[in-house]
Amino acid sequence: MMDGPTLETLDWVVIAIYFAALVGIVWWSSKKQDTTADYFLAGRNVGWFVIGASLFASNIGSEHVVGLAGQGAVSGMAMAHYELHAWLMVMLAWVFVPFYYRTGVYTVPEFLELRFGATTRWIMSIVSLIAYVFTKVSVTVYAGAIVFATLLPTTFGSPEAAFWIGAFSTVIVTGVYTVFGGLRAVLFTDTAQAVILLVGSVCITVIGLNQLGGWGELQRLAAENSEAFALWRPIDDPNFPWLGIVIGSPLVGIWYWCTDQYIVQRTLSAKNLRNARRGALWGGVLKVWPVFIFIIPGLIGWALHQKGLIEIPMKMVNGESVINGDTVFPTLVTTLLPAGLRGLVVAGILAALMSSLSSLFNSSASLFTVDIYEKLRPGRSEKHLVNVGRIATLVVVAAGLAWIPVMAKISGGGLYLYLQSVQGYLAPPITAVFLLGLSWKRINGQGAVTGLLIGFGLGLIKTFVQTSYGTGKNETPTMLAWLGDFNFLYFSSVLFAICVVIIVAVSLMTAKPDYEKIAGLTFGSGSEADRAEMRASWSGVDLFLTALVLGLVLGVYAYFSFWLG
């Protein structure tokens, strides 16, 4: 069995070089931050390559590095479906981006106001801000803290001390460079971080397979546990039933990739519509690779543990000792990689954490400043609004820090599974409103508001019931226990259907919207100039990238659907 060495001098040198480069990028980015367009959208002058890399790096945070590898070790390929949502970035590029970019909005809630009225903007902004702090920020920070505790267990005296120092230091450092650099700093650091993350994770995969004995050995061991590690699961599987994956997971994906400010903000920073679309497509190409650089390393870690080549920490779940999936990736780093390369990968993990946090901080500041503060205090100067955005960033940083002690208690079935289940209750109302609103001009503001409020209320009820009722918790009354155990993917599907019915019914029972006011905000209602701009914004390169994304997704599905025989 291999012992896991601590970080050596060369590792610290590599990490120091990375942070020095980061400081240089932030200093350069902070020189021009005079207007809200500069601060929140990087001056609307960003190219497609940077946008795509930022989409990838923002999505692949520490909860991905830690959580996906952990799920790979515990549940095999089940979570690959979420990474294969790369096809939804094709939808973002061709369906949603033209609407967002043509209207010139700063935020997604601002677009909702144009389509449905001010109330929908308020609801979306407030719900998004709350969700960012209590799901994304907190989960990302917690995952990064676990990495520190595993990689540097004695550097600060104990794993517990490493956990808290890691959590606080990364949040504070990331908050500082987001406050000063704005979205331009976020985008360009994201690009560098995406490269580091890819290189480091590929090294883990290659070295791990070599230690294990090759791909064939991994396949053989996984095949012996095919029920636990297969891509497709039975329809009654408690976590990943195939029907729930097919119907429920895309509903979450459409919300995340096509309507969430956290993601969409990158495309809004493009210099023109062509770069916005192409950036989304390039991000889709990159999105497929986490299957190979995070999930597969998790499987490799499990296999190495089974063969006694490494030792992954265990934890007790329902009285049974099982692998602590959230420690798999950092354990692979400390046990497999040589000095220097180990430091590069640690820098990559820090990059993932900081990338996600910086994106979250900047998106939160945008939502608060543009959608809330500017509505309450209209007519303020551009410089004043930029300063408000910086203060809002600091508030989100503080809220994220305050929530860490609570997140320390939420690691149940794995961070990534927890995050997906919570998002599964948030996404359906938003997805329903956007899909109906873009496709049918008869949908009005009353229908959208009613659907959002009832949908969020039902999702909140499910979240609270799930925490207290179900198998191994309170099992009476039986109705609440059943609701607590009801699979999150199936619940997402049912919630979406309920929201669709409510939105359509209320819209038909109330007055038609003013079709002139929403011209260009639904399919088929744009002007001839809009259609001409759309035709001029794409070329063969965009078609090639679209085919490449779809081909990669279909290829991965075709192989891993049958890889265990």
CATH number of domain containing 379: 1.20.1730.10
- 516 occurs within a structural domain: no
- 226 occurs within a structural domain: yes
Contact in structure between 456 and 126 (CB atoms under 8 Å) = no
Residue 45 exposure: Cα atoms within 13 Å on the Cβ side = 7
- 170 occurs within a structural domain: yes
pLDDT on residue 44: 61
The tokens of 197 are what?
């993350």
| Lowest mean pLDDT across 33-42, 301-310, 311-320 | 33-42
Number of structural domains (the chain) is: 1
Phi, psi of 508 (to 5 degrees): -70, -25
Strands (E), 356-509: none
- 426 occurs within a structural domain: no
* Backbone conformation region of residue 318, classed left if phi is above 0, alpha if psi is from -120 to 50, else beta: left
The pTM assigned to this predicted structure is 0.82
pLDDT on residue 403: 66
- 512 occurs within a structural domain: no
Distance, in Å, from the CA atom of 430 to the CA atom of 466, rounded to the nearest integer, reads: 21
Following DSSP, what letter does each residue of 112-152 receive, concatenated?
Answer: HHHHH-HHHHHHHHHHHHHHIIIIIIHHHHHHHHHHHHHH-
- Residue 474 DSSP SS3: strand
Confidence of residue 3 (pLDDT cuts 50, 70, 90): very low
Query: Residue 263 is part of which domain span?
Result: 9-21+33-414+528-560
- 289 occurs within a structural domain: yes
In order of 51, 495, 500, the CA distances from 491 in angstroms are 33, 6, 14
- 1 occurs within a structural domain: no
Residue 112 has pLDDT above 50, yes or no: yes
pLDDT digits over 223-270, tens only? 888 888 889 999 988 888 999 999 999 998 999 899 988 788 888 888
The tokens of 258 are what?
């096509």
DSSP state of 239: S
Percent of the chain whose predicted confidence (pLDDT) is above 90? 28
Confidence of residue 157 (pLDDT cuts 50, 70, 90): confident
Distance, in Å, from the CA atom of 18 to the CA atom of 344, rounded to the nearest integer, reads: 8
The tokens of 93 are what?
């590029």
Distance, in Å, from the CA atom of 72 to the CA atom of 323, rounded to the nearest integer, reads: 11
Contact in structure between 307 and 2 (CB atoms under 8 Å) = no
Burial of 10 (0-12, 13-18, 19+ CB in 10 A): middle
Following DSSP, what letter does each residue of 50-87 receive, concatenated?
Answer: HHHHHHHHHHS-HHHHHHHHHHHHHHTTTTHHHHTTHH
Contact in structure between 362 and 265 (CB atoms under 8 Å) = yes
- 499 occurs within a structural domain: no
